[in-house]
């Protein structure tokens, strides 16, 4: 028992820490008779990380005759022989970084020279943080480079607890070491690794570590590994790159491209998409006309996300012409050279939101509609992992009809799947930035108070868990039943996505809300009644390590307030979890 508890005996939290759901702590277990695939598949991975993941299949690539010079510069660098192993493509929100990254990834995937790709996404669950970054890269490398699979599997076998080690140790053991061995065969090979939206990875320190680790690709002599990294030019990333030798880095600033080149590419985008919209609406081949397209290009101000959102807004309308006029009237002035491009993006998001509120509503009905929209959209943009509309209605305890009513006219900014079981997603993270920024949003009817939204979700998670969790929630009716002997379908049926979400993220929402805990308050009462039920649920979910971190984090939370009752309870709960973790992981129902 003591040997097992050592794996998590170091669980701790400092004042600025946040619970990171999805970080793996513990050993990778497998039987000696298992083949390489079984060993490899024991690595925890983020399924939505690759550029061609199922959830990303509708994300666009660059259209023909767009981004021509930039793409050629990236291809020349990737195929080059010099020491610049790292290419940093940076630009403002909405300038097309992810679309370029997908285009490059597709080319090298088709040529069988893509080593791996990881597309970060804030609010995307496992792609929201660095917990599964290295293991996901290693898994993809082993599958994309067959000769590397044996070396990576050997590394997993050599260090069974590698997934609980630091990012640097994981990188050395699972990626750099195997790649160095691959070069021993004498065959010259070249691969590209693509990391998109690094700025959306949670934790500035992890971002800086990742930059330093990726720069170590230069140490590979016989195997050439190029790393394409995209991000906004935010301070932690700029600082990380400043610490690297210039000879190792090539960078490109997207928003410094000549406006005439960007406008040409946006023109191609508009012509292509508006032609499709015109065909759908049975409009004349010349619609909407050259002058209108020129006006739309000017309003876009170099932001591809403005153009993409505008096209979706036009497409979803009953009268396409009317939607075009709304866009033109909503942006009555052309952006001045010194004006920030996001100004017109803000206006576009405001236009979409205003159009979703029925004009015929009374003042009272409008007020209720604004409140419901803020409630639902505020929850969607601060979720740590996306949920379907059906799961959202059960989590928030709002009727499905009201959810659908709010989402009905927001397809321009939200990806709303036709099948309810698939999660809702933002088309672009700039909408989250807009909605949570009081200055950018401007209109108090739409602005979402981030702390308040997290408090709403904290309450919703606790209420849902209180009404759902119970002893033997999977109805196995056999204390001591091993997790391995219970079918996943039974667990998924007993613990639907919204309940699993609540179990996994309620403490993160609590921390982000800034709320203070008190004796006999909501959190204290929930833990007194449902601590064991919550731990049992986490056991069936395979997330007990996250529970251990959550308890450690909330212990610090209570230590900052004068609440002896809840402080004492959580201290005892932490000791209980640390001591009994192995048993809970193997057989949650005791």
Question: 3-state SS of 438-486?
Answer: HHHHCCCCCCCCHHHHHHHHHHHHHHHHHHHCCCCCCCCCCCCCCHHHC
Surface-to-core class of residue 511, CB atoms within 10 Å of its CB (0-12 exposed, 13-18 middle, 19+ buried): buried
Q: What pLDDT band is residue 361 in, cutting at 50, 70 and 90?
A: confident
pLDDT tens digits for 266-323?
999 999 999 999 999 999 999 999 999 999 999 998 999 999 999 999 998 889 999 9
Q: Is the pLDDT of residue 396 over 70?
A: yes
Percentage helix, strand, coil, to 5, in the chain? Answer: 60, 5, 35
Q: Write the CB contacts of 430 (distance below 8 Å, at least 6 apart in sequence).
A: 93, 94, 305, 342, 345
8 Å CB contact between 477 and 418: no
Q: What would the two tokens of residue 550 be?
A: 């959550």
8 Å CB contact between 498 and 392: yes
Q: What is the pLDDT of residue 246?
A: 73
Query: Which fold does the domain 31-256 belong to in CATH?
Result: Rossmann fold (3.40.50)
Element (H, E) at 224: strand 223-231
Q: What is the pLDDT of residue 33?
A: 35
Q: What would the two tokens of residue 535 be?
A: 């731990």
Q: Write the CB contacts of 518 (distance below 8 Å, at least 6 apart in sequence).
A: 524, 561, 563, 566
Report the greatest alpha carbon distance in the chain: 76
Half-sphere exposure of 567 (CA within 13 A, CB side): 10
8 Å CB contact between 132 and 20: no
Q: What pLDDT band is residue 555 in, cutting at 50, 70 and 90?
A: confident
Query: Which fold does the domain 364-448 belong to in CATH?
Result: Arc Repressor Mutant, subunit A (1.10.10)
Q: Is the pLDDT of residue 14 over 50?
A: no
Which of 251-255, 268-272, 400-404 bottoms out in mean pLDDT, i.e. has the lowest?
A: 251-255
Q: What is the pLDDT of residue 226?
A: 95
Chain-centroid distance, C-alpha 300: 26
Which residue in the block uniquely carries the two structure tokens 């490059």?
104
Q: What pLDDT band is residue 26 in, cutting at 50, 70 and 90?
A: very low
In Å, how far are 62, 109, 235, 251 from 231, measured between CA atoms? 18, 21, 11, 11
Q: Is the pLDDT of residue 30 over 60?
A: no
Count CB atoms within 10 A of the CB of residue 281: 15
Count CB atoms within 10 A of the CB of residue 516: 12
Q: Write the CB contacts of 68 (distance below 8 Å, at least 6 apart in sequence).
A: none
Q: What is the pLDDT of residue 76?
A: 95
Q: What is the mean pLDDT of the chain?
A: 89
Q: What is the pLDDT of residue 220?
A: 87
Count CB atoms within 10 A of the CB of residue 212: 15
> Most confidently modeled of 24-33, 73-82, 105-114?
105-114
């Amino acid at each position: 028992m003591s040997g097992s508890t050592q794996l998590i005996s170091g669980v701790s939290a400092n004042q600025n820490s946040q619970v990171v759901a999805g970080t793996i702590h513990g050993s990778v277990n497998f039987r000696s008779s298992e083949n390489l695939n079984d060993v490899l598949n024991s690595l925890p991975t983020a399924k939505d990380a690759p550029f061609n993941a199922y959830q990303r299949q509708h994300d666009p690539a660059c259209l023909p005759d767009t981004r021509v010079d930039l793409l050629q510069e990236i291809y020349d660098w990737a195929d080059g022989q010099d020491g610049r192993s790292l290419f940093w493509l940076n630009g403002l929100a909405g300038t097309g970084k992810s679309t370029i990254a997908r285009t490059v990834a597709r080319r090298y995937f088709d040529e069988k020279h893509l080593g791996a790709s990881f597309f970060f996404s804030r609010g995307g669950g496992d792609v929201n943080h660095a917990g599964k970054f290295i293991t996901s890269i290693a898994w993809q490398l082993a599958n994309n480079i067959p000769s590397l699979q044996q070396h990576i599997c050997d590394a997993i076998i050599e260090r069974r607890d590698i997934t609980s080690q630091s990012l640097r140790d994981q990188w050395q053991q699972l990626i750099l070491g195997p790649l160095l061995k691959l070069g021993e065969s004498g065959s010259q090979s070249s691969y590209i690794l693509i990391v998109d939206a690094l700025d959306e990875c949670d934790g500035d320190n992890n971002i800086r570590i990742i930059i330093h680790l990726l720069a170590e690709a230069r140490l590979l002599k016989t195997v050439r590994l190029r790393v394409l990294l995209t991000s906004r030019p935010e301070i932690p990333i700029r600082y990380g790159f400043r610490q690297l030798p210039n000879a190792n880095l090539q960078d490109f600033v997207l928003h410094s491209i000549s406006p005439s080149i960007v406008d040409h590419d946006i023109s191609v985008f508009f012509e292509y998409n508006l032609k499709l919209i015109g065909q759908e609406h049975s409009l004349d081949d010349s619609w909407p006309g050259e002058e209108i397209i020129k006006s739309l290009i000017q309003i876009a101000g170099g932001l591809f996300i403005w153009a993409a959102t505008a096209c979706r807004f036009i497409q979803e309308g009953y009268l396409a012409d009317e939607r075009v006029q709304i866009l033109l009237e909503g942006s009555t002035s052309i952006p001045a050279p010194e004006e920030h491009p996001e100004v017109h993006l803000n206006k576009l998001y405001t236009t979409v939101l205003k159009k979703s509120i029925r004009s015929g509503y009374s003042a009272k009905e409008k007020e209720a509609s604004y409140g419901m929209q803020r409630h639902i959209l505020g929850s969607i943009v601060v979720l740590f992992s996306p949920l379907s509309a059906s799961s959202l209605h059960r989590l928030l305890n709002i009727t499905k009809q009201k959810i659908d009513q709010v989402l009905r006219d927001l397809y321009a900014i939200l990806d709303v799947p036709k099948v309810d079981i698939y999660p809702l997603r933002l088309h672009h993270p700039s909408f989250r930035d807009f909605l949570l920024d009081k200055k950018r949003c401007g209109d108090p009817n739409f602005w979402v108070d981030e702390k308040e939204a997290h408090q709403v979700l904290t309450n919703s998670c606790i209420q849902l868990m209180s009404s759902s969790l119970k002893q033997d929630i999977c109805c196995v009716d056999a204390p001591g039943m091993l997790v391995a002997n219970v079918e996943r379908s039974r667990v998924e049926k007993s613990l639907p996505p919204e309940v699993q979400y609540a179990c996994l993220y309620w403490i993160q929402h609590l921390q982000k809300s800034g709320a203070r805990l008190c004796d006999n308050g909501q959190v204290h009462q929930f833990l007194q009644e449902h601590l064991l039920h919550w731990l049992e649920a986490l056991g069936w979910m395979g997330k007990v390590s996250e529970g251990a971190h959550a308890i450690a984090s909330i212990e610090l939370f209570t230590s900052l307030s004068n609440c002896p009752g809840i402080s004492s309870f959580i201290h005892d709960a932490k000791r209980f979890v640390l001591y009994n973790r192995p048993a809970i992981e193997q057989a949650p129902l005791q």
